[in-house]
Amino acid sequence: MEHLQYPVGRFLFDDKSFDLNQSIQVIKNFSDEVHSIASKLKHGKLDISYRPEGWTARQVIHHVADSHSHALLRIKCTLSEDNPTIKPYMEDKYALLPDYKLPVESAILILQGVHLKWAFILENLNDDDLDREYYHPGYQKHFTIKQATALYDWHCSHHLGHLQICLSND
């Protein structure tokens, strides 16, 4: 079950091996990869879970649109405020809201815009910017932009793995 829940493994941050350019490329290409997989899923497969008690492909795609929108805003707050406290959200409850039943194209459009802006911002940061922090009250810890970028690089691959599982079940 672990391989279905974490198809690329659990997130681990290693400052020494962090590669900003690689993370930017993952973020830059993510919406195209989601679009490619979604276009291959037959309509019914969008509503089947990738694992028991897991989200459906449709919910995963809407989740990443919401999650990555929050991530972009967190980065922007961190760049424009001193050590902001971000607002967590209830992702499991979001997944039950009516908009998660919309066609996935609506979420993909969000991803395209968010990822374009996000990658552009990351491409224009310096080392001091990457060390700026926000506070996450849910985890009760500070995250640097560098750590958050690595986390969302992983998050992209993590959920692409879920979508690939759905596709392989097609």
* pLDDT number for residue 1: 77
Strands (E) located in 34-119: none
Domain map of the chain by residue range?
A: 42-168
Q: Mean pLDDT for each consecutive 10-residue tract of the chain (170 residues)?
A: 91 94 98 97 87 95 98 98 97 97 97 98 98 97 98 98 89
* Token digits of residue 65: 């649109």
Coil vs helix vs strand at 70: helix
* pLDDT number for residue 105: 97
> Model's pTM, two decimal places?
0.96
* pLDDT number for residue 42: 79
Residues 6+ away with beta carbon under 8 Å from 142: 83, 133, 134, 135, 136
Class for domain 42-168, per CATH?
mainly alpha
* pLDDT number for residue 170: 55
